[in-house]
Amino acid sequence: RPNIDYGVVEKEGDGTKQLMKILRPYIKNGKVTDRVIIYCNHVDMTEAVHNFLKDRGIDSLVCTGKTKEQMKTVLKPFHQMPCIVVATSAFGMGIDKPDVRVVVHYDVPDCLENYYQEAGRCGRDGKRAYAVLLYNDKEITTLLQQPTIKFPDEDTVKNVYIHLMNHLQVPSGIGGGQSFDFDLSTFSASFKIDILTAIYCIKILEQENVLSCPETFF
């Protein structure tokens, strides 16, 4: 939207220096003066940023999407007063407050659609707002590798399938109707397979009805 200024800033180190520079205009005498959302990709980073701000005397709310109760606890003050919310993408539905002034992406989202939706939560009142994306080279490299990881080639899928049979000691074509205990971390370490590659190969095998996994596995 024309009232949103979009910025892309390279991180120096962990990016906290750039984050503080972005937040400074919205903090007066230690008090937050506007609504700000800081999005992080992972729960541990969300909590780390929250603790970083806390250590500097800056109040913030944290939303990791772990429970509905947590979401309710965050939404009430978010709708009532200026505040900073540090959140994962779980802070999404119902975030329709028109006067969010800044949305910061502390990590590069893995999906352009997510970025578009999250950045668009600022400035819905038509006034000037800012969407700032922080990045480093490592994150860009990881993004570029994602298609290969998410869509492994046929040989990679076959290789994981063979390792699965060896790991579970089940020959090909045998084991229908049986269930097996399976620890993904142990499997990946034993056969030196990237854990994400293993997950996406197993997803493909499930789509091809070679095996099935409970929903909680993914």
Q: What are the pLDDT digits (tens) for 62-89?
A: 998 777 788 888 988 999 999 999 999 8
Res. 19: pLDDT tops 90: yes
Residues 98 and 105: their CA atoms lie apart, in Å, by 19
Q: What is the structure's pLDDT at 4?
A: 97
d(CA 211, CA 218): 14
Give the per-residue pLDDT at 59. 93
Are 204 and 152 in contact by the 8 Å Cβ rule? The answer is: yes
